[in-house]
Amino acid sequence: MGRRQQQAEEQGEAVKLLLESHITKAALGAIRKLAPKLEAEHLANWRGGAFLRASDAEILVACQEEQRALLTYDQATIPDLLRQWAAEERVHSGVIFADKNTVKPSSPSAVAAALARLAQEFGEADTTNMVLFLRPAQRAPG
């Protein structure tokens, strides 16, 4: 275990996150480096890849079992599902929406930096029923 990860674990529980399939798997390494308090998994590897062809609802149910928030670029179907679940008073473990024009899913460093920024904002907050939007990390002036 690296020193950063050990420090993060000593400071509190890691926030669990699932990256959907549109996000490059290379983002995992960058996330571990920039945001060690995020326990990120990629859909392709999570639970042995069993959810690669699963429905959005099945993925959200499985995420809820692990208290794992979902990072997704799917703004076509997931919002309707979340509205339906809210009407039915169903719980989910949090969804973070991203947009390819704001944070490119093919850029590991951009995804990791944006998640690190978001993690600083919400810290160890309970992500139950939370809906957030991923914004690019602020660049240093210069």
Q: Give the pLDDT confidence of 77-105 residue by residue, as tens digits.
A: 999 999 999 999 999 999 999 999 999 99
Extended strands (E) in the chain: 15-19, 38-42, 68-72, 95-97, 131-133
**Does 141 score more than 50 pLDDT?**
no
Instruction: Specify the pLDDT at position 123.
Output: 77
What is the pTM (predicted TM-score) of this model?
A: 0.86
- Residue 81 amino acid letter: L
Phi-psi region of 128 (alpha: psi -120 to 50; beta: other; left: phi over 0): beta
Beta bridge partners of 97: 72, 133
CATH class of 3-133: alpha beta
For the chain, give the mean pLDDT.
88
Q: For residue range 16-29, list pLDDT tens digits in order.
A: 999 999 999 999 99
pLDDT band for 139, please (50, 70, 90 cuts). low
Which residue is associated with the tokens 């669990």? Answer: 16
Q: Return the domain boundaries, the chain.
A: 3-133
